[in-house]
Chain A
Amino acid sequence: MTFFLQNVVNALQWGSFYGLIALGYSMVYSILMLFNFAHGDIFMTGSYIGVGVATGLVALARTGALVLPNWIILVLTILISMFLTALLGIAVERVAYRPLREAPRASAAITGLMVGIILETGNLILLGAQRVKFPSLIEPASYEVAGVFVTNKKILIVGLSLALMLLLHLFVKRTKWGMAMRAMAFDYAVVPLQGVPLNRVTVLTFAIGSALAAVAGIFFGIAYPVLDPNMGILFGWKAFVAAILGGRGSILGACLAGFLLGFIEVFVATIFPSTLRDLIAYSLILLILVFRPHGFFGEAYSAQLRL
């Protein structure tokens, strides 16, 4: 039983990352029918921005100019990185996707991949190839509850991830901008004719998605403090799977699918030889998609798909 619970705890942390990144994929896909394949690398860049901001703040606190306890540094790091990464997301949309809005969707998908490669290699050129260590802002503490080990990092990561997902859900369901997003997801061509500003909604979507990716990046740095420029690729693919599995246009679906992916990966590795993890995990997901091709919460989309 403790073994099972320990794995549940592990899976919750792992699923949080997939969930947070999948949200960005899912939102852009819902509204623009566009797979933002650069999203995994925006997550990576967000993590590196987090390293930069945190290192700067730690250095500032050392000089004694400002009294900054570690938790304030952490909060500031998250907020500043969210802001900067959101700007990056907006810039990517402006430069790479907006000029291609009328082009076939395949062109936009390819452009996304290229933007991803530019971010990876740009990072390589800028920072060199060695691994970067994420500064430790949280003094690690481990609690044992009935044989299950929980760290303060895990609690923070899972808790804040869930809170952010809930906030986003409320934003989309309760606010006017959220309503505009949902309307746009419903019909991308007609809704702008009713006076909904297409460009502003798009910018907002990219900003929110990228900011969430930045949070995921910082959490990732806290949990797995060795960063490399290629870490976003695999995460991008898997979060993309989660976004599809969750169903188009569903915040709840993307989060749930992210956690489901985390659980499947962890438990497959627990039950079967760990070598077969991805093979079995993704065969399972394939099977789910055979029976639910639109994912868990996706509505069947009747209009012609443009991808």
Chain B
Amino acid sequence: MKRFLIVVVGSCFFWSAALAADVIKIGIDASMTGDKSKVGEGTRYAAQLWLEDIQKAGGLAVGGKKVPVQLAIEDSESKAESAVKAATKLITEDGVLFIVGPQASVEAVPAGEVANNLATPLISPWSTNPNATLNRPFVFRACFLDPFQGPVVAGFVSKHYKFKKAAVLYDVASDYPKGLAENFKAAWEKKNGPGSVVAYESFTTNDKDFSSQLTKVIRSGADFLFTPQYYAEVPLIVQQAHELGFKKPIVGSDSWGSAELTKLCGKDCNGLMFSTHYAAAGAKGKTKEFIDRYNAKYGYVPDDVAALTWDALGLVQTAIQNCGKLSGNIKADRKCVRDGMSRIKQFDGITGKMNFSKGNDPEKCAVIVKISDKGEFEFFDSICPEGPAKT
């Protein structure tokens, strides 16, 4: 009897696996709730736009056959442990072929580990922390890395403002700000000598009052403040700095680039600059096409997360097509798609040209954006890595 049951259960598994070839499931692991909920919203909206295109075309063309695509969306609740849970569920229960997300590094680093261990390809559109893909053949990303972004900001500030003394304020309990703060500090000190970061202050996630740290920053006599924080914290930091009499520039990183930032910050943030992946105001070509479609459907200009998710899904689509033929055995297919992904060398996305010649991380240009008086993100400058990725 027991053996019979095993056979029945086993054949069920077999059949469900065989049936799975009739439909491609793409998992979305993103923060629908929690302090980065706007990030999850952008991810979902971009994925739904992409799915619309696929459905209009009658499915995804693989090996001469159109296969329908389904999205399995899981909430990472803006927490590392929930992102891991969501990734595990997508892999083991939903049987997805590819996972897109999580976005923030604090979630993508641990979730990437799970995906890699379970041999399922995962692409994080927005995670810039190197550890997300490090030594993980199954984990990819669609954005540049913090070791690139740190020097970009340092280089831009020295070039544009000609400042010598920097202050940094960051969240020590979150992978992304911590990693980027360290990279920025290293790059700045390389340029301006040791001790040129005159204040290096930190706080922990969910802190609301930064007055003591900012008072120290002001006393240090720094020329500007660099704060690589998320859009929910930036308004508090900027407002409190202004209330304490800090009138010097405050510079940020790609985590600032959310539609929520200007809503929460008001005019305090106008005129500030940050490094990011793309600038929506003044975009051209297919980037503009995406922005217009998104804006028409959801009523606001997509932020960088949505644009990067769109590119990540384009990469996933190319990878599946590179694989050529889906057997229906989900394990073999995942491996095949991963290999298809690593065959992509160049990808021309809406956030710029990506060069994958160095493995799972693309080389691409960064953009410096200025927040205009109307609260729009305007293109200010573009900084490219030295080498083949130049556009």
CA distance A274 to B203 in the complex (A): 6
Q: Interface code B301-327, partner A: CB below 8 Å = 1, 0 otherwise?
A: 000000000000000000000000000
Which of A128, A142, A270, A274 has its CB near the most chain B CB atoms (within 10 A)? A274
Which B226-267 residues have a C-beta within 8 angstroms of A? 232-233, 235-236, 239, 242-245, 260, 263-264, 266
Q: Interface code A1-45, partner B: CB below 8 Å = 1, 0 otherwise?
A: 001001100100110000000000000000000000000000000
B86 to chain A, nearest CB (A): 15
Closest A residue by C-beta to B231 = A131
- Asked whether A3 and B219 contact (CB < 8 A) given A14-B211, A266-B211, A278-B204, the answer is yes
A273 at the interface (CB under 8 A from B): yes
- Asked whether A269 and B206 contact (CB < 8 A) given A142-B245, A151-B243, A225-B239, the answer is no
CA distance A131 to B208 in the complex (A): 13
B212 at the interface (CB under 8 A from A): yes
- The answer to whether A124 and B206 touch across the interface, beta carbons within 8 angstroms, is no
- The answer to whether B243 and A269 touch across the interface, beta carbons within 8 angstroms, is no
Stretch at the interface among B31-39, B100-108, B122-130: B31-39
A74 to chain B, nearest CB (A): 18
On chain B, the residues within 8 Å of A140 by CB distance are 243
- Asked whether A270 and B215 contact (CB < 8 A) given A124-B33, A131-B260, the answer is yes
- Asked whether A274 and B245 contact (CB < 8 A) given A124-B33, A131-B232, the answer is no
- The answer to whether B33 and A10 touch across the interface, beta carbons within 8 angstroms, is no
- Asked whether A226 and B264 contact (CB < 8 A) given A142-B243, A231-B208, A275-B202, the answer is yes
Q: Interface code B191-220, partner A: CB below 8 Å = 1, 0 otherwise?
A: 000000000011110101101110110010
- The answer to whether B37 and A10 touch across the interface, beta carbons within 8 angstroms, is no
Which of A131, A153, A228 has its CB near the most chain B CB atoms (within 10 A)? A131
Which of A129, A228, A273 has its CB near the most chain B CB atoms (within 10 A)? A129
B172 at the interface (CB under 8 A from A): yes
Q: Interface code B33-57, partner A: CB below 8 Å = 1, 0 otherwise?
A: 1110110010000000000000000
- The answer to whether B219 and A149 touch across the interface, beta carbons within 8 angstroms, is no
Which B88-114 residues have a C-beta within 8 angstroms of A? none
A136 at the interface (CB under 8 A from B): yes
- Asked whether A149 and B243 contact (CB < 8 A) given A228-B35, A274-B201, the answer is yes
A230 at the interface (CB under 8 A from B): yes
- The answer to whether B215 and A230 touch across the interface, beta carbons within 8 angstroms, is no
A17 to chain B, nearest CB (A): 9
Residue in A10, A142, A226 whose CB lies within 8 Å of B211: A10
A133 at the interface (CB under 8 A from B): yes
Residue in A14, A131, A234 whose CB lies within 8 Å of B206: A234
Residue in A128, A130, A277 whose CB lies within 8 Å of B260: A130
B332 to chain A, nearest CB (A): 38
Residue in A10, A128, A151 whose CB lies within 8 Å of B215: A10
Which A256-271 residues have a C-beta within 8 angstroms of B? 265-267, 269-270
Question: What's the dominant secondary structure at chain A's contact region?
Answer: helix
On chain B, the residues within 8 Å of A234 by CB distance are 206
- Asked whether A131 and B243 contact (CB < 8 A) given A10-B211, A226-B264, A270-B216, the answer is no
Q: Interface code A148-172, partner B: CB below 8 Å = 1, 0 otherwise?
A: 0101010000000000000000000
Residue in B202, B203, B232 whose CB lies within 8 Å of A228: B232
Residue in B206, B213, B219, B245 whose CB lies within 8 Å of A144: B245
- The answer to whether A10 and B212 touch across the interface, beta carbons within 8 angstroms, is yes
- Asked whether A131 and B35 contact (CB < 8 A) given A226-B232, A274-B202, the answer is yes
- The answer to whether A131 and B264 touch across the interface, beta carbons within 8 angstroms, is yes
Closest A residue by C-beta to B169 = A274
- The answer to whether B244 and A149 touch across the interface, beta carbons within 8 angstroms, is yes
A291 at the interface (CB under 8 A from B): no
CA distance A278 to B173 in the complex (A): 13
CA distance A277 to B206 in the complex (A): 14
A224 at the interface (CB under 8 A from B): yes
On chain B, the residues within 8 Å of A129 by CB distance are 32-34, 37
On chain A, the residues within 8 Å of B219 by CB distance are 3
Residue in A6, A14, A265 whose CB lies within 8 Å of B244: A6
CA distance A224 to B236 in the complex (A): 6
- The answer to whether B209 and A14 touch across the interface, beta carbons within 8 angstroms, is yes
CA distance A266 to B201 in the complex (A): 13
On chain B, the residues within 8 Å of A130 by CB distance are 37-38, 41, 260
CA distance A140 to B215 in the complex (A): 19
A117 to chain B, nearest CB (A): 14
B234 to chain A, nearest CB (A): 9
B251 to chain A, nearest CB (A): 20
On chain A, the residues within 8 Å of B244 by CB distance are 6, 149
Closest A residue by C-beta to B32 = A129
A219 to chain B, nearest CB (A): 12
Closest B residue by C-beta to A141 = B243
- The answer to whether A230 and B206 touch across the interface, beta carbons within 8 angstroms, is yes
Closest B residue by C-beta to A142 = B243
Closest B residue by C-beta to A152 = B243
- The answer to whether A269 and B213 touch across the interface, beta carbons within 8 angstroms, is yes
A140 to chain B, nearest CB (A): 7
CA distance A230 to B208 in the complex (A): 12
Q: Interface code B75-89, partner A: CB below 8 Å = 1, 0 otherwise?
A: 000000000000000
B111 to chain A, nearest CB (A): 19
- The answer to whether A269 and B212 touch across the interface, beta carbons within 8 angstroms, is yes
On chain B, the residues within 8 Å of A226 by CB distance are 208, 232-233, 235-236, 264
- The answer to whether B212 and A274 touch across the interface, beta carbons within 8 angstroms, is yes
On chain B, the residues within 8 Å of A142 by CB distance are 242-243, 245
- The answer to whether B245 and A149 touch across the interface, beta carbons within 8 angstroms, is yes
- The answer to whether A6 and B243 touch across the interface, beta carbons within 8 angstroms, is no
B32 to chain A, nearest CB (A): 7
Besides the known contacts A153-B243, A270-B212, 5 further A-B residue pairs in the complex with CB atoms under 8 A apart: A149-B244, A230-B206, A231-B208, A265-B212, A270-B215
Binding site for A on B (CB under 8 A): 32-35, 37-38, 41, 172, 201-204, 206, 208-209, 211-213, 215-216, 219, 232-233, 235-236, 239, 242-245, 260, 263-264, 266
**16 examples of A-B residue contacts, CB within 8 angstroms:** A3-B219, A7-B212, A7-B215, A14-B211, A131-B232, A131-B260, A136-B266, A149-B243, A224-B209, A226-B235, A269-B212, A273-B202, A274-B203, A275-B172, A275-B203, A275-B204
Sorted from nearest, which 3 A-B pairs have the closest CB atoms?
Answer: A129-B37, A10-B211, A129-B33
